[in-house]
Chains A and B, each alone.
Chain A
């Protein structure tokens, strides 16, 4: 069952080949068997999952229920779940249970899914390797001495190893797409404002978006259909109709124009270039027309991001002060001691690093030169894309410069770590939707290709990804140790 896609499992459930309870139990057993090594899950909610499954089975037996009824999912531990701990990968929230569900959690629940548990992640979503988590690193199922990517490393690893058929992730600078690429699965970051941020613990408010991570584009379409939509509790949520993402999956790609940014392909290593060349060949067979485009300001995306994101995070994380919830130091002497030690002990090094950068960038005398300037650069980057989409329908490029790097390889060099997001970051700055899907292997490790669309063009992206997955089987591969 763990080799099947969500769509296949849904069909199986409806055909009563197996019950939801059996399905959930199967995955709970796999988690039991493998999570010790992978460390993908932080908290399990087996009892709750089985209850959800039973409720689903009742609906299914009456011929009722929707597309996702009875299917197991797991939530990145950044989404608040009522009555189940939400840690955000941090000691700061190790003792925290939210009194409410995030909108994403509530919607997937309403859709009839069963919640297996909460998935490991880089602390407060800050990282590209899932090495900063308070709960320890997550292993890449394909090569356990390699990182799964981050910050949604637990989500990617869990799906890739068949511990859950589907997971949610969040993406601020690439945190869905990069781990999806490193783990050989499919992940989508929606347009900013497409998915509600209510209950999704904030890292960088103007960049964060939640999205699906699963074995295929079709699976992502199923999940996104439940996750997406206007939410009045999120003032940045956009009231744009949610299409039936599955309905257009099979649309023809004949005549579709796909742009190749010359800046993305300039310094690509030869094996990555070869993977993408092969992918482009497949697309040409499907009728796609490729064009070279230019995104001249894209080189500024990493510096702009690493001013904007830390600035917003320095403010968003100010609430973690040991006063009302979360980690509090032992026997604080006075207010200052309470703050210093609760935050000093509660936060990890990378989080502290980014809070310091952000505080500095926003401080008097530097605001104009850094934060304001970075926002202006952001506008230029968004305009580059706008111009590009006047000529092409979709943009294609690599997701990452290389396959997964080794655990510990980049932890000593934060800048080098930041540069692994070089292809994904601009998309968050512009607020556009982006996807990563498996496109091949390099040195036995999966790599992905990235698709970028215009605002609210998720249906198109899923279609372009799905057609590729109909003629290739990279996405069907499982790591040997987890078959």
Chain B
């Protein structure tokens, strides 16, 4: 029996607003427990929610970026359940009428492009955190996170493999960071994924029973968890069993999913429209205003890089992976005024290598884009050779000085005066008669020796091409 996995992802992104979705308390991460929860977040008697417009903007921005319908009217609804990190005993969310409707995202897997549908995206508030360790059998409740705005993005069940799931998740992650609506920090819980997994016989139209795997918060774990779950379900079905619709957790240590809810009934959330909030009305003027604020999206930027800079697809993909990196690259191209391929090479190899080694993000690079551009300019106009350029780069990294200053200071200018080079070549030849004879009698390998000697004599500053040409000429049998 051939089985087809059917996967849908629900992703909760924390929106990067300064204050919470329904109160003015700060959303900053890492504060001491319960220092960023005001009366509204604490669900005290008599408090009322007031909607944060910035969160709406971000939701609309997302909707436009995935080409979704933006609902002119959407409604906040209460999702009722009891848990200590949910202060009001209900979460303000959106149920029947979400702010963002159907959209889609393109993913690239195994060299093909695939369209993954987005069913909807809605605004809601985050709950607080329950800390089960460190409290001697009790649970500590930190309400700093309570009320942080979330955008819950629900995909259509269009995903057919763990690889596609990861590709979708990565694409979405890139997009929300690009849009500036989410910082994408999965360790801090800014981007959280629940996966709905089911299997069905290939060719069957009806969906199988699905399970929900909650809170898998890294790309790697998503892939592992979904893979495991698919196998588990197939095994159960092939043995003649049935899949229980339930929530499961992924155990990273054991690399398996485990059933989470022991109770038989699912929670009845008793959704109803929140009477403390008015329906959210989004005008077409507002939508156009937000549309004007959209940055160039990753997909569009990728295609533009292919066209404008004649880059290879792989290079274009790497360089547009993050907005910061793409911007950096473009500044380098502009300041250096040289071949984009050269710039791409330097950014992807030299610079990225150095950043990785130092554990730095591109935004923290000690060598700015214009500094690097200046260096490449001097490389392109032959002031320095490629090898010297690498040296200058290292010096730049340490000192922060620009290329011209460093070249001047260290006297690194390339020697391009043929006369001067010839003179040195003559000296080298004169000083190495044995090798000259051996070379002339057929030992071609010694060419490298002579090049090396000339470079040594010039402290590496002689222009390599010229050295090659002149040396070849001078070494010829007369």
Residues from chain A with Cβ under 8 Å of B51 in the complex:
235
Knowing A197-B48, A363-B268, A367-B270 touch, does A315 contact B90 (C-beta < 8 A)? yes
B39 touches A362 (CB 8 A): no
Per-residue 0/1 for B43-64: is the Cβ within 8 Å of any A Cβ (1 yes, 0 no)? 1111111110000000000000
Which residues of chain A in 194-209 are interfacial with respect to chain B, using CB atoms and an 8 Å cutoff? Answer: 197-202, 204-206
* Most chain A Cβ neighbours within 10 Å, of B50, B87, B141, B275: B275
| Segment with Cβ contacts to A, from B76-84, B147-155, B184-192, B329-337 | B76-84
Residue A321 interfacial (CB < 8 Å)? yes
A359 at the A/B interface (Cβ < 8 Å)? Answer: yes
Whether A235 lies near B49 (C-beta < 8 A) is yes
Report if A362-B270 is in contact (Cβ < 8 Å); known contacts: A100-B39, A206-B275, A312-B275. yes
B313 within 8 A of A: no
Residues of B contacting A96 in the complex (Cβ-Cβ under 8 angstroms): 45
**B141 touches which one: A197, A315, A323 (CB < 8 A)?**
A323
Does A88 sit at the interface, judged by CB under 8 A? yes
Task: For residue A37, give the distance in angstroms from its CB to the closest CB of chain B.
Answer: 30
Residues 56-86 of chain A: 1 if any B CB is under 8 Å from the residue's CB, otherwise 0?
A: 0000000000000000000000011000001
| Bound: A63/B314 CA distance, A | 82
Q: Which among B42, B48, B271, B276 has the greatest number of chain A C-beta atoms within 10 A? A: B48
The residue of chain A having its C-beta at the shortest distance from the C-beta of B79 within the complex is A315
Residues of A with C-beta under 8 A to B44: 98-99, 319, 324-325
B45 near A88 with CB under 8 A, answer yes
CB nearest neighbor in A for B78: A315
CB of A240 to closest CB in B, whole Å = 15
Inter-chain contacts of A312 with B (CB < 8 A): 275
> Which residues of A lie under 8 Å from residue B78 when comparing CB positions?
315
The reply on A318 being an interface residue by CB < 8 A is yes
How many CB-defined contacts (below 8 Å) exist between A and B?
Answer: 97
In the complex, are the beta carbons of B268 and A364 less than 8 A apart? yes
Closest-CB distance, B276 to chain A (whole angstroms): 5
Question: Among B39, B43, B88, B270, which residue has its beta carbon within 8 angstroms of that of A99?
Answer: B39
Inter-subunit contact B45/A80 (CB<8 Å): yes
Indicate whether B278 reaches chain A with its CB closer than 8 angstroms: yes
Give chain B nearest CB distance to A138 CB in angstroms.
21
Chain A, 335-374, contact with B by CB distance < 8 Å: what is the 0/1 string?
1000100000000000000000001001110010001000
Determine if B84 and A323 form an interchain contact, defined as CB atoms under 8 angstroms apart. yes
Chain B interface helix/strand/loop/mixed: loop
Asked if residues B45 and A86 are in contact (CB atoms below 8 Å), the reply is: yes
Query: Which of B45, B141, B270 is the one whose CB lies under 8 Å from A319?
Result: B45
Name B43's contact: one of A233, A319, A362 (CB within 8 Å). A319
| A235 in complex: contacting residue of B45, B84, B272, B277, CB < 8 Å | B277
Check if B141 sits within 8 Å of A201, measured CB to CB: no
Q: Which of B251-305 contact A (CB under 8 A)?
A: 268, 270-272, 275-278
Across the interface, which residues of A come within 8 angstroms of B277, CB to CB? 235-236
- Does more than half of chain A's interface fall in helix, strand or loop, or is it mixed? loop
A7 is an interface residue with CB less than 8 A from chain B: no
CB of B89 within 8 A of chain A?
Answer: yes
- Tell whether, in the assembled complex, residue B46 and residue A102 are in contact, meaning their CB atoms are under 8 Å apart: yes
| A234 touches B (CB below 8 Å) | yes
Alpha-carbon gap, A3 to B178, bound state (A): 71
- Chain B nearest CB, measured from A91 CB (Å): 14
B82 in contact with A235 (CB, 8 Å): no
* B87 and A324 within 8 A (CB): yes
A-side contacts of B271, CB under 8 Å: 362, 367
Instruction: Evaluate whether A235 and B48 lie within 8 angstroms (CB atoms) in the complex, with A319-B89, A359-B270, A363-B268 already known.
Output: yes
Does A93 belong to the interface (CB within 8 Å)? yes
Given contacts A205-B276, A206-B275, A315-B89, contact A321 B46 (CB under 8 A): no
Choose among B47, B84, B141, B275 the residue that contacts A236 (Cβ–Cβ < 8 A).
B275
B89 contacts A98, CB within 8 Å? no
The residue from A198, A235, A317, A371 contacting B46, defined by CB atoms under 8 A apart: A198
Determine the chain B residues whose CB is within 8 A of the CB of A102 once the complex forms: 46
Q: Is A292 an interface residue (CB 8 A)?
A: no
Q: Determine the chain A residues whose CB is within 8 A of the CB of B47 once the complex forms.
A: 198-199
User: Which residues of A in the span 285-342 have a Cβ within 8 Å of any Cβ on B?
Assistant: 311-312, 314-315, 317-319, 321, 323-325, 335, 339
A232 within 8 A of B: yes
Say yes or no: A201 contacts B82, CB within 8 Å: no
CA distance A198 to B278 in the complex (A): 15
Min CB distance A220 to B, Å, is 23
Nearest residue, chain A, Cβ from B141:
A323
Chain B positions 121 through 161: 1 when the CB is less than 8 Å from some CB of chain A, otherwise 0: 00000000000000000000100000000000000000000
Of chain A, the residue at the smallest CB distance from B278 is A235
- Residues in B with CB closer than 8 Å to A201 are 45-46
- Nearest to A358 among chain B residues (CB) is B270
Chain A residues whose CB sits within 8 angstroms of the CB of B42 once the complex forms: 324-325
Expressed in whole angstroms, the minimum distance between the Cβ of A381 and any Cβ of chain B is 17
Nearest to A317 among chain B residues (CB) is B89
Within 8 A of B (CB), among A225-245: 232-236
A86–B48 Cα distance when bound, in Å, is 17
Which residues of chain B come closer than 8 Å to A236, judged between CB atoms?
A: 48, 275-278
Asked if B48 and A234 make an inter-chain contact with CB atoms under 8 angstroms apart, the answer reads: yes
* Set of chain A residues within 8 Å of B50, measured between Cβ atoms: 232-233, 235
Give, as a whole number of angstroms, the nearest-CB distance from B445 to chain A. 80
Least CB distance from A364 to B in Å reads: 5
Determine the distance from Cα of A325 to Cα of B87 in the docked complex, in whole angstroms. Answer: 11
CA gap between A66 and B141 in the complex, in Å: 47
Closest to A102 in B: B46
Q: Is the CB of A363 within 8 A of B270?
A: yes
- CB pair B268–A319 under 8 Å, yes or no, is no
Chain A, Cβ-Cβ closest to B266: A364
Residues of B within 8 A of A88 (CB): 45
Cβ–Cβ < 8 Å partners of A205 in chain B = 275-276
Cβ contacts under 8 Å, B43 to chain A: 319, 324
Mark each residue of chain B from 67 to 85: 1 if its CB lies under 8 Å from any CB of chain A, else 0: 0000000000010101010
Q: Which residue of A lies closest to B80 (CB)?
A: A315
| Interchain CB contact under 8 A, B46 and A318 | no
CB-defined A-B contacts under 8 Å, sample of 12: A98-B46, A200-B46, A204-B275, A206-B275, A232-B50, A233-B48, A235-B49, A318-B82, A318-B89, A321-B82, A323-B84, A335-B84
Q: A202-B45, A363-B268 are in contact. List 5 more A-B contacts (CB 8 A).
A: A98-B45, A235-B50, A318-B82, A319-B45, A319-B87
Nearest 4 interchain pairs by C-beta? A318-B89, A205-B275, A362-B270, A206-B275
Which B residues contact A (CB, under 8 angstroms)? 39, 42-51, 78, 80, 82, 84, 87-90, 141, 268, 270-272, 275-278
Point out residues on A near B: beta carbons under 8 Å: 79-80, 86, 88, 93, 96, 98-100, 102, 197-202, 204-206, 232-236, 311-312, 314-315, 317-319, 321, 323-325, 335, 339, 359, 362-364, 367, 371
